[in-house]
Amino acid sequence: MKTPSRVQALAERHFEDTVTIRRRIHRRPELSFEERETADFIAQQLRTWKIAFRSPIGGHGIVAEVPGRASGPTVALRADIDALPITEATGLPFASERAGVMHACGHDAHTACLLTAVRILSQLSEQLNGTVRALFQPAEEKLPGGAGAMIRDGALANPQPRVAIGQHINPTLPTGSIGIRAGAFMASVDDLYLTVHGVGGHAAMPDQLIDPVLIASHVVVALQQIVSRGSSPEIPTVLSVGRVIADGATNVIPPLVEMAGTLRTVDEKWRATAHELIRRTARKTAEALGGSCTVRIVEGYPVLWNDEALSERVGAYAAEYIGRKNVQQLPLTMGGEDFAYYGQLIPACFYNLGVCAPGKAGNPDHLHSPRLDLDEAALQIGSGLLAWTAIRELQAAE
């Protein structure tokens, strides 16, 4: 296949079905590790199209395969299927029917696009010089994530795919475009949990107490110096404390303060060093003020690294499909993604699909917003581009 015209025609033919699938998933969102109904729905679609699959993989994950006309390498395509604990405020006629749960990160669109891509590929199997493996992955939004569990259950085995490719919506990019970045693209993600211990009592008698609220305040400030003075200016790093619970009162100093935050960076060696600095800084700061501090660091997703050679090829395939002018270079982001685990084992590329409708300067309703919506015209592009990318990558392996 020299041009994407057949893929584009099928993406257009199946567009209404793609929208229907997306809206069905959007109405019935499920949180990480709870995606039973979503998985059943995906399986139902695959059965209808007579596409072979295995489940459950890594929890509620599904691995589907489309074999080609001849033996050859395998290319993996991935979509995440879970939702977020957010109350939807879009007012859409297909808004979430589940209170407090919403597809606010586009996973409904990712799943719909990959399902249609697999459908297209099954109809063009004679064009495949190998096998396309579709990974419908649960639990991207919550540590420890579903990617590692899918890998442990064999999602990348027998045989190991040549590459892994993932697509994610971006409401700041216009429909009809994609964004891509080679090398380090997304940050590592670690959750920080700190408990400052003191001696509580009457707020009018601070001389008789060890005030954990004051100590916690010093700890927060001291932690910021790890980034400003401990890290190289050449290594992007974010350390944020987003939760501080001091359960006292106007006249009560509590005995302890609980805090939680996040560490993000794009260098794995510095990441390990930062963990030690966080523990030492928090502990020593609290001790200097008469209290103590326990620190628990939950290591999350690693740095997401886009293989340079694969990213160049994916960009070229996209240029063939949507035109070179519609392929944009993305900046580094401090957001995180468990797609990074695939890239630790095989060359991987994670790119963004523009979903901002024409005429908008950029969708202000960002990812994880209760008002997030997307231009559904982008689903036609996203599904076709995934299929075209798989076809071309198998051709490149010849």
In this structure, the strands spanning 61-67 and 131-137 are antiparallel
Q: For residue 164, what is the enclosing H or E element?
A: strand 163-174
Catalytically active residues, by annotation: 82, 140
Q: What is the DSSP letter of 28?
A: S
The closest alpha carbon to 192, from 302, 86, 294, 337, belongs to 294
Report how far apart, in Å, the C-alpha atoms of 370 and of each of 69, 91, 105, 335, 394 are: 45, 10, 10, 18, 39
Burial letters for 172-206: b for 16+ Cβ neighbours within 10 Å, e otherwise?
bbbbbbbbbbbebbbbbbbebebbbbbebbebeee
Residue 312 phi, psi (nearest 5): -65, -40
How far is Cα 178 from Cα 330, in angstroms, rounded to an integer?
9
How far is Cα 121 from Cα 129, in angstroms, rounded to an integer?
12
Tokens 């429909």 -> residue = 175
The helix/strand/coil state of 211 is: coil
Cα three-residue angle 6-314-11, rounded to 5 degrees: 25
How far is Cα 118 from Cα 76, in angstroms, rounded to an integer?
11
CB 128 within 8 A of CB 67: yes
Burial letters for 85-117: b for 16+ Cβ neighbours within 10 Å, e otherwise?
ebebebeeebbbeeeebbbbbbbbbbbbbbbbb
Question: What are 210's strand-pairing partners?
Answer: 199
Stated length of the chain:
398
The helix/strand/coil state of 148 is: helix
Token pair recorded at residue 141: 């939004």
CB 303 within 8 A of CB 268: yes
